[in-house]
Structure 1
């Protein structure tokens, strides 16, 4: 049964009355972590209604015989402690292990139209979904449906398409390797490569840039490299909020003398100092340890110019005899060095300074740190990848690492920090709209069925296909697609064009309310819950891959929220079996080519299939049994570069002609916006309304602006503004064509940001991002360079 909603006041709808209230806006004086983190964990466990269950789960999280954190993809140490979780992970577990339930009586009380008026936090605060649901348009409510009936409906709609490319299959990074493998196998047997996924919206540029430069699409460092490095450059990321366990590794590196450089437009407390909650003496005396010895704040989009300025300063030091590139490495393992060096030297300092928003002296200081460090790690996240020129910036990062021979050396390398816990593993398993030839050939060899060869649709293409009426069915394996994507009104309108939308989820979110003509919600087990399969009800384990390419097992410990819940592999297999029984015989193929029921009865069998198809997974089951699993081979660590030339490639691309802050210089009232998470948020999941480290309490509709910009625009901290974006264009925008995109009612907060740059939380500001404004080559939304105009709010004075 659904429980009475006891959600705290902070999770009430964002009404006019609540918007008009005064949130607490005060600078945060403490370190990241520390007592603040412990108090936050306690509050989240209490709010869950099942604090003891949550504590029991936390003690099993990230342990060798427990379950993997459902949050970020930071690596697990081989020397694990009894408490291997962070504040973020604790929030995720409390969110999943809640005692609250959103059952049939909840949906009987609330129409979809009513729920559309609730905000993200309140929707998910209703608790776990407990049974399959089908949307009834006549009553505007979800009603229960049996699993077999749900699978039959999906199968009927998919089999009724005149072209398999009219179906879209989205994947969230939460899905396990086993679920992802079954999903891509089913979809390709169905006949399409339409795999829009969360990678399209975050680290696509990292994979593309590294593949072009190094012949691999994954980072080249392992967690142990942080114990041996001399300098760490942290670019465009906020580990204190997005992957807090990274702070422990950064702190330990700083304690033993490594230099840490933070390069980020906002000053983030997690990059300044950190108090480790596991250090009793430090907690007792309210101590902390500094993280970054150097903090540089480029303007949004200025990272490539900053990196090129660093390189220019290094070449000047080389001429002065105070820096020597790793000539042996460059000559033996790389190509294109001379062309890159000439491109760097051709850039004048005035152009670099103007684009980066950082002066020459600062870039020269960074070059000094780099030159003095025998081993360098460069780590980055979405602050680098969500720009128009993000692929080129990633390649510039690799250029710098190649210059010093910092690839294939202990304590050095490239470290893109992925977001969700298995987003990297999903791509390894074949969730890729541009599937490599080797994967399709391996699948054909294993199953004897021709695989689709045409590239499929990514996230941008999927939305455009829905908008144009070229896609009819949308299935989402996890995530909150409607809120994760840009151009919110367009996205929602596009999803409503579908004939059928299917969401595989643990909790209610806004995507469930943006329905096609028909809609299903299929509730699944959470990562922390026991997964029993087969006639004997044997407990199963799944596997995930972290940012360091380590693959390890995960086995839930908690009793499932409902006996009606099914695992993601079981749901995928159920859809596949029902659909392919209708589709494959038409093509003269035996639908029994895959025994879906047998695979789900024992996940070891799924892993046997993975071992037969995916390189690096030989003896998968045996290797997964090791306490911390195993690490996938990365040829670049052995300086084996799988490029066309067999060498690592320097990239001599030109700087962008102008980045957004330069384009807006002559437009009064306009700023460059970056969207970001609050501290009470993970991806689109909003746990509450506080952002502790940025000093915000009880509010999410805030805009962080440089004080000088406020004065220049005639505004004051505390004023309310609407944010206007680029106008809608084209016939697909209908009546909105020519009007500016709008996000209403944001309270101004004076904050330490570069001039001309501002920041606000997503998904509230996703409405301002045009769908077509994407990275060159990556199609990733340009979420860190959004043009916005500040005007007095028409909702609040």
Structure 2
């Protein structure tokens, strides 16, 4: 390693959380809000009479602590509730072309949009427009398109009420084109788990973490991406239950964490060890690691006999299909191959198998480190296989726990945001609203962008999000967005996608979660679903950032009314009182019985999860063991010159929102132009810590993609693996590099070659 550290690279020697988190939270508050307003707002975050954090989907704690937010939650809240404003006059002095030169952080840091805007192509600026005029122009333009030439994108911040109205509008308009943010993160879960266990969601509750005897945490970094989970892991570790981390990078929060709500740890500068065992597979080695653990279990069971309790044979016989096929496949796989592909020695995988066999209640948590691969769907199914081997469904302290991102990404899907609608839902829509919705499958996110690139789709309506930046392949996607004939963006703040203007573009500013939503019947609440299927109300209290803002449901209703003058839906009546929207959801979506009554109970209610009752909604009525064909997840495995690149989020970002330029737990400050590398991989390529490097894809065909102007940073990451930040690394991910089963982009499985940049001295 070089004698001196590169600029902005230095070791962070403190535990995750602790005083560092509190200092960062205080700094964020100072930058965005007045302290008294911030304190009052944050104390209402994730409370029964408050609002749901617009950040992660981790459930609200059942404990009554004074604050229910984390550092990144505070950033999400204050970023939305900021005192900064972007009035119409700002755009008069800034052309779209000039704003495209700004970085993503600077664009969003401008503050809240305050009034509806329409793009003036002659002047290359956005100009103020009244709501009625905006709706009328958008409606008239939408009516000129074939419905299947329009894409309706949904961000996970959209409430159940807005998402439901949105899908009703698009289906009455005549399309099932519903690209949404879940297509880019946990679609592999939504597709893979129904085949395995009959439902595309996790099966655990927060209470299960009080009863589990073991947690296996795979492919996620909770300290950055869902920090409120750290309080739960902290409790589990403190009561002595082992936590096994399986992740290619060493992540500080999975090693040591100081809970800011623990007075003793804060006073003594102490911390709690989180992971009792930390395994670092190669990027793309998760499937092989899972199969190694299961192979070890099968071998233990073969040696000890069915009565030894290594496997739960009674559960397997009563509730599953396919066990023998899986067992035969695992017995045939060679340990030498499992070790080579996973990057883990047999002994370490056998240690995990023994710990798993000793636990009578195990939870497996996983994130996008498993789903955003070429075989993401199969990876998820291997997690289900592992849990099924010991009957870890339908009992306290056990189950599968996919870690969703945005606070309502799961709820949007539950209330109908899907490009593949079921016949029963469509029939209930027809019965409730009186129109016949289309039945053909529409576009997911990647298919939508391909249609835009090819010119088949002409218009895009976005409920939040930053679609062009979130998707891979910006060199293809960004120019395509500028060829759209119409783009409509419902948003709170400006981002890069809003600046990719074509012939017509509109910015429609909406209320945020923190703000009071007042309709003709009075103040309204919206509802969201967390990652553990709890549905609860969210009530903003802050005065809106501008008197010209409208709520998301009101904006959807306004566009729908203007687009469909003969609509069979009473849009105005529904928006006047959100209870009416929830009554309609209850009529269309099963499991929402007594919706309005139940969301008025503190904490809300949980949607049914049949696997928790050992009921399997699969065609066979049983849970299914599913064989993974081979071991290798990703392209170019086995070529020693090729490394596998994964994209990661920094500690100062949430999805595409960049709050700042620090990633303190990984020791990066004030910059994002880094590639994390294993020191042995660097040495074998003649690369020193801090060297300027060139990263080039190694798919083996024409059109390889290149990332320049980055430096190599030595980091404890598995040999053969490298990491860089998302979305900067998206330029290395082709649009069609996806999990074929789910369509999820393979952001975490990019074959690359890396060399020193000879053009930099």
TM range (shorter): over 0.9
SS in 1 for 2:381: helix
| Alignment check: 8 A CA contact 2:364 2:400 kept | yes
Instruction: Give, in whole Å, the separation in 2 of the partners of 1:138 and 1:726.
Output: 43
Q: Which blocks of at least 5 consecutive residues in structure 1 are unaligned?
A: 1-20, 586-590, 730-737
Counterpart among 541, 554, 572 of residue 538 in structure 2: 554
Q: Distance in 2 between matches of 1:549 and 1:406?
A: 18
Shift of 1:727: 7.8
Alignment of 1:514-553 (within 5 A): 514-534=500-520, 538-553=522-537
Is 1:780 aligned with 2:711?
A: no
Counterpart Cα distance in 2 of 1:333 and 1:632 = 22
Any idea what SS the aligned residue of 1:35 has?
helix
Residue correspondence of structure 1 range 13-92 to structure 2 within 5 A: 23-92=7-76
* SS of the residue 1:662 aligns to: coil
Secondary structure at 1:489 match in 2:
helix
The answer as to 2:754 corresponding to 1:790 is: yes
**SS of residue in 2 equivalent to 1:520:** strand
- Asked whether the 8 Å contact 1:661–1:756 carries over to 2, the reply is no
Task: Decide whether the 8 Å contact of 2:288 with 2:632 is kept in 1.
Answer: no
What is the aligned counterpart of 1:164 among 127, 133, 147? 147
Between the aligned partners of 1:311 and 1:776, the Cα distance in structure 2 is 25
Matched, 1:685 2:657: yes
Q: Which residue of 2 aligns with 1:12?
A: none
Alignment correspondent of 1:18: none
Counterpart contact for 2:217–2:365, Cα < 8 Å: yes
For the Cα contact (< 8 Å) 2:693–2:709, is it kept in 1?
A: yes
Q: Greater shift after overlay, 715-724 or 238-247?
A: 715-724
CA RMSD of aligned residues (A): 1.5
Alignment of 1:217-616 (within 5 A): 217-321=200-304, 323-534=309-520, 538-581=522-565, 585=566, 591=567, 593-616=568-591
Number of the residue aligned with 2:615: 640
1:696 pairs with 2:680: no
Contact 1:661 1:757 in 2 (8 A): no
Structure 1 distance, partners of 2:760, 2:169, is: 50
Question: Shift of residue 54 of structure 1?
Answer: 1.7
- Which ranges of 4 or more aligned residues in structure 1 deviate by more than 6 Å? none
**Shift of residue 51 of structure 1?**
2.8
* Structure 2 residue corresponding to 1:713, chosen from 680, 685, 699: 685
The whole-number CA distance in structure 2 between the counterparts of 1:754 and 1:543 is 41
Q: Secondary structure at the match of 1:68?
A: coil
Match of 1:128 in 2: 112
Instruction: Give 1:599 deviation, angstroms.
Output: 0.8
In structure 2, distance between residues paired with 1:451 and 1:780: 26
Higher mean C-alpha deviation, range 171-180 or range 152-161:
152-161
Q: Is the 8 A contact 1:635 1:642 kept in 2?
A: yes
Aligned in 2, Cα 1:693/1:567: closer, same or farther, shift over 3 Å?
same
The 1:324–1:656 alpha-carbon spacing in structure 2 relative to 1, beyond 3 Å, is closer
Measured at CA, do residues 663 and 168 of structure 1 come closer, stay the same or move farther in structure 2, by a change above 3 Å? farther
Deviations 1:509-540, CA, capped at 9 Å, x for gaps: 00011112111111111111111111x5x111
**Is the 2:248–2:280 Cα contact (8 Å) retained in structure 1?**
yes
1:67 and 1:685 mapped to 2: Cα distance?
20
Q: Does 1:671 align with 2:643?
A: yes
Matched residues, number:
754
Query: Residue deviations 1:307-347, cap 9 Å, x none?
Result: 11101111121123265211111111111111111111111
Unaligned 5+ residue runs, structure 2? none
Quote the offset at 1:776 in angstroms. 2.5
1:145 corresponding residue in structure 2? 129
Paired residue secondary structure (2:118): strand
Q: What is the match of residue 9 of structure 1?
A: none
Q: 1:657 to 1:250 in 2, by over 3 A?
A: closer
State the alpha-carbon separation in 2 of the partners of residues 331 and 323 from structure 1.
14
CA deviation string 1:561-610 (max 9, x = no partner): 101111111111101111111xxx5xxxxx2x211111111111100101
